[in-house]
Amino acid sequence: MDYLEGLNPEQKAAVKQISGPVMIIAGAGSGKTRVITFRVAHLVRSGVDSFNILVLTFTNKASREMRERITKLVGPEAKNIWMGTFHSVFSKILRVEADKIGYPNNFTIYDTDDSKSVLRAILKEMNLDDKLYSVNVVLNRISAAKNNLVSWIEYQKNDQIQADDISSNRPMLGTIYQNYVQRCYRAGAMDFDDLLFKTNELLKLYPDVLNKYQHKFKYLMVDEYQDTNFSQYLIVKKLAAVNENICVVGDDAQSIYAFRGANIQNILNFEKDYPDLKIFKLEQNYRSTQNIVNVANSIIANNKEQLKKNVFSEKENGDKIKVMRAYSDNEEGKLVAEAIVHERTTKGLKWNAFAILYRTNAQSRSMEEALRKLGTPYKIYGGLSFYQRKEIKDLIAYFRITFNPADEEALKRVINYPRRGIGDTTIDKIIVAADQNQVTPWEVVADPTRYLPGERISSSVSAFSMMIQGFQVIARNKSAYEAALHIAQHSGLLKDLYEDKSVEGLNRYENIQELLNGIKEFSEREDIEEKGLDVFMQDIALLTNDDNDKNKDADTVSLMTIHSSKGLEFPQVYVVGLEENLFPSQMSLNSRTDLEEERRLFYVAVTRAQSKLTISYATSRFKFGTLINCEPSRFLDEIDAQYLDLDLTAKQPANNVGSLHYDERSAWSRTDDKFTRPKPKATTAPPVKTTSILAKAHVVSASFKVSDTSNLQVGMQVEHERFGFGKVISLEGNKPDVKATIFFKEIGQKQLLLKFAKLSIVTNN
């Protein structure tokens, strides 16, 4: 038993309980992987045949790490343990038993692209509108059906499902599902969902097969049990039915994948399936400081549906959790980037000690731009850089060809996107003609009768040429934002993305809006004179360069969604965008169940931090080209204020009238499953408490009037509509390009170009 001496008492008790049903509730940073590893090793050392052990994980990385650790403890016997992801383990079983359900043993496994290709062919054959029946929408619908063990036959017979499809104007989904299944079957192929769906089918239809694996897998362990869906739950329950030596490990507070079909009830109700269940709670957090753990506890305490535990840390208290308020999303990026640089410089840390976590991918733009401006290396984790996403590159390609028609790559990218009837054959002819005549492809497009005599060229080519020429006129005469919006709309790109109602389509549409938001802010900047789209393009040219660094251990700041951060940890974490309708998301506000998942997501974000946690929010954000006022997230008011260090120097834009404040205990009126936001208090509301997350916004003075600043002098007091009151501390440059450095009481020092600043001179003192 010497090898167990490094475990704490609760960990050791969980490891030594090898028989009967066991649930290990593993709080964040509590050594979950270590416990699973030692428990499996203890099974083998206790005489259990390694061939009789099944360990199911959710990632290949987790299973590889566990096997390596187990091998160090028990030696080569570890290779005989059935260990892997649900999909890998059950595909192995299906290879052996496939003939029973009519598949060859060497069946093909389709990935997502394969599945989409099959569906495109089916939609084309059925002559269905591929906008209404988007491939992503159809595939998601089929995937959801399979994960809930609804076959195509049951799908077509279910009145509620059929009613839902009719109400969404997609009555043919059931037929598409049928054709898809039959097409895959004829090809001897299964998709990823089939690996679970067909395993359930196999165990249901063939009792002898079920009996075989029930007696083979005498001991089952399931990692991340809170993330299991109905299909996975049923397989595990069937396999464990004979011996009931099942151990599930997980944390209900980290259940964040409902959108993938995960069902938190699987772990919440596990005891109902096994009345003799033994429960072990791993509550000591070895990752984070006490203050971070205390904040996490105060957040998750607001969820009604949970398995109670008292997570604690024996590490030092550590820094309080800093809350930063910015007046815009760009300012938020600037504050975060500057804080990271400061922390790295003063504490001698590496860049990879820092992570920035956000709710949606679109939020990466302002963070990326701020980091780039400070020369800070970063890496997008689990996704592409904002400017490397296809939809962003597509719109930027339109910008590029507008200003430089000779840009061949841009032309090839957009000439038939969105589709306008210019096929590959025509494009090939254009490229060949350009090569033969030593001209650019654009010149061929602009004058096809000259360069392609006798060829039958679609009128769409001329229409495309005229469209681009129109963009050139607009770009020369309009602001960057007006030109960009015109191009996005009249190219058809914005409409194409808007009509894709899938989750992916919505994300792409939001990303385009985020790019337009960035251009809108650029157009309204007061510190630059030239604000054309061409200047913006020059400004972001460096942002589109991909460093192609494949080194996972590179010394870079990590940027990622909170969903992508699960399972990771960093010395310092910045959680950004804590605003109502963003985090929690707008879609979650009408359901208690959805809101509780959002809160669990916040809990996951907080518990990624080891030594320092910073939270930020903006009081205004551009959305669809319009500056909107933002309210701080309700989650901030749920944090015990004693653990917070508030930095609320940034102010609301002047058009946000009034002060908002919510008492920590009665901030939200609640019904069974709905939350109702109280109405904002008027400007005559009592003073905000110093511990409140929400500080009073600057309200522009009634006497405010833009002054003539030609004779502005150092020492004068001024008022700015957004930045509030400040003092002029220096002036530089010659008229009319004089720049003033002003120290504003609420947001600190700013440098403004006077001819654009719109200042009101308050006093000469």
CA distance 428 to 128: 29
Q: Are 283 and 309 in contact (CB under 8 A)?
A: yes
Verify whether residue 469 is a known catalytic residue: no
Q: Which of 296, 303, 299, 319 is nearest to 644 (CA)?
A: 319
The number of beta carbons lying within 10 Å of the beta carbon of residue 123 is: 20
User: With contact defined as beta carbons under 8 Å apart, do 605 and 562 qualify?
Assistant: yes
Q: Which of 228, 254, 306, 607 is catalytic?
A: 254
Could you tell me which of 90, 30, 29, 37 has the C-alpha nearest to residue 62?
37
> Which residue is catalytic, options 32, 146, 389, 612?
32
Q: How far apart are the first and last CA of the chain?
A: 79
Q: 480-490 vs 533-540: helix axis angle to the nearest 10?
A: 90
On whether the CB atoms of residues 339 and 324 are closer than 8 A, the answer is yes
Is residue 254 among the annotated active site residues?
A: yes
Catalytic residue among 97, 165, 193, 224: 224
What's the rounded Cα separation, in Å, for the pair 420 and 325?
Answer: 46
**Orientation of helix 364-373 relative to helix 503-523, angle to 10°:** 40
| Overall residue count recorded for the chain in this entry | 765
Q: Is 469 helix (H, G, I), strand (E, B) or coil?
A: helix
Complete edge-to-edge strand list for the sheet that includes strand 739-744: 748-753, 739-744, 724-732, 717-720, 759-763
Q: Is 156 a catalytic residue?
A: no
Is there a catalytic annotation at residue 534?
Answer: no
| Residue 176 to residue 180: CA distance in whole angstroms | 6
Bind-site residues for ATP:
26-33
- Among 223, 443, 500, 746, the active-site one is 223
What is the residue whose two structure tokens read 């963070």? 367
Determine the Cα–Cα distance for residues 516 and 201; give it in Å rounded to an integer.
Answer: 49
Question: Which of 198, 281, 608, 651 is an active site residue?
Answer: 608
DSSP label of 558: E
Q: How far is CA 286 from CA 32, 289, 348, 608, in A?
A: 11, 8, 23, 12
Per the CB < 8 A criterion, the answer to whether 263 and 233 are in contact is yes
What is the phi/psi pair of residue 730, to 5°? -165, 155
Nearest-CA neighbor of 631 among 575, 573, 677, 691? 677
3-class DSSP assignment, residue 278:
strand
How many whole angstroms from its chain centre is CA 176? 30
What long-range pairs does 51-54 form, CB within 8 A, spacing at least 24? 51/80, 51/81, 51/82, 51/216, 52/216, 52/217, 52/218, 52/219, 53/81, 53/82, 53/83, 53/217, 53/218, 53/219, 53/221, 54/81, 54/82, 54/83, 54/89, 54/217, 54/219, 54/220, 54/221, 54/239
Close Cβ partners of 1 (under 8 Å, ≥ 6 residues apart): none
Which amino acids are annotated as binding site, given as ranges?
Answer: 26-33
* Torsion sign (Cα): 403, 407, 413, 416: positive
d(CA 182, CA 477): 56
Q: How many CB atoms lie within 10 A of CB 675?
A: 17
- Cα dihedral 180, 185, 189, 195 in deg (nearest 10): 80
Residue 315 tokens read as 């590490």
Q: Is 489 a catalytic residue?
A: no
Task: Give the C-alpha separation, 675 to 591, whole Å.
Answer: 8
Q: Is 329 a catalytic residue?
A: no
H helices present in 621-748, as ranges: 634-637
The active-site residue, picked from 33, 162, 265, 440, is 33
Among all residues, which ones are annotated catalytic?
A: 32-33, 223-224, 254, 608
